[in-house]
Amino acid sequence: MRFLLRPDFPNVYITDEAGRDVYWVRSGVADQVGLWSLRDLGGRELVQVAQHGPRLAPSYGVYRAGGRVATVLQEPARGAGRWRSGVRTLVAGAPAKLRYTVRSDGSEPLDVEGDPAAIEYDLNRAGRPAATVGMRWLGCGLTVGTSVTVADGEDPELILALVAMIESAWGRL
């Protein structure tokens, strides 16, 4: 399945392959408190991602119906590289490269490794692509959206909430 995340500050709207709005992400509070909420068009919350811990090396909890379904760990560089990355994050707003691991009960971990300057990156499970994320122009203006292709058998709502969190953390949404 293919989706498109379209920023419309302070929220993000998500359309399906036919161009119909199917979800929206309430992200207006993301910068202040680290909270993203994937909702259906009726406003019902489907998946919530909440930041825990410090901004330089946070972890995130993924919640459905009030229960934690996954944990997202940001894996920073080791030793001096970690501190250089932290300083770069404070000065430039986004580190040079990020790696996340999403752990949930009953399934293999989901690995995300990417560069905020990259045009495309993958979310992989057990060495296979679970989703591909890429930038896409939205018409002739300067508006850019985020294209997400979710592999068969993967949970699109979970992946869309994670992509919204990552793209927002990178300053692209």
Find out whether 161 and 25 touch, Cβ atoms under 8 Å: yes
pLDDT category at 152 given cuts 50, 70, 90 is very high
Question: The pTM is what?
Answer: 0.80
What the block records as the tokens of 74 is: 């940001």
What is the rounded CA–CA span in Å between residue 133 and residue 107?
A: 21
Q: Which residues pair with 72 in a beta bridge?
A: 60, 102
What is the rounded CA–CA span in Å between residue 49 and residue 70?
A: 9
CA atoms within 13 A on the CB side of 66: 0
Find out whether 35 and 28 touch, Cβ atoms under 8 Å: no
Q: What is the pLDDT of residues 13-68, one digit of tens each?
A: 899 988 899 999 876 555 556 678 899 999 999 999 888 876 666 788 999 998 99
Find out whether 157 and 38 touch, Cβ atoms under 8 Å: yes
- Of all residues in the chain, what percent carry a pLDDT higher than 90? 34
